[in-house]
Structure 1
């Protein structure tokens, strides 16, 4: 077992089971900036398709964000920031 594997050996049996290996891959993917726990980030895709940047929206005040989302044809009440 490699040193990095020990971090994910939750039951300390010396081997990674399917759950532990999946947790390890999820951790690696997150560190590489790939994905969240359930696959691709649909909200980010929706914003990108509308020509908006999630990070920009996140730092806007709520009134400005609502206006920008409405102008892009999106329902602001569907998103949590």
Structure 2
């Protein structure tokens, strides 16, 4: 039976294939950071989530980013979104 980690089919699992397989098996950001020193594909998607939520609520994302924090919070609340769910820099 062929080893599932032998991606190039040469009959041997080399270090690159082994590392790639280990990365594929990571199930959390914390585990990936412990094994590889970075977050990998587990980066925070908070910005994407905000853009999707804002557009779905009929808000202009660029306009929201230009507002002061109080105006932004009010606009989000009026649209039915919780301002505390999002980070703004």
TM-score by length of 2: 0.45
User: If each structure's helix is expressed as a fraction of its own residues, which one has the higher value?
Assistant: 2
Larger radius of gyration: 2
TM-score by length of 1: 0.49
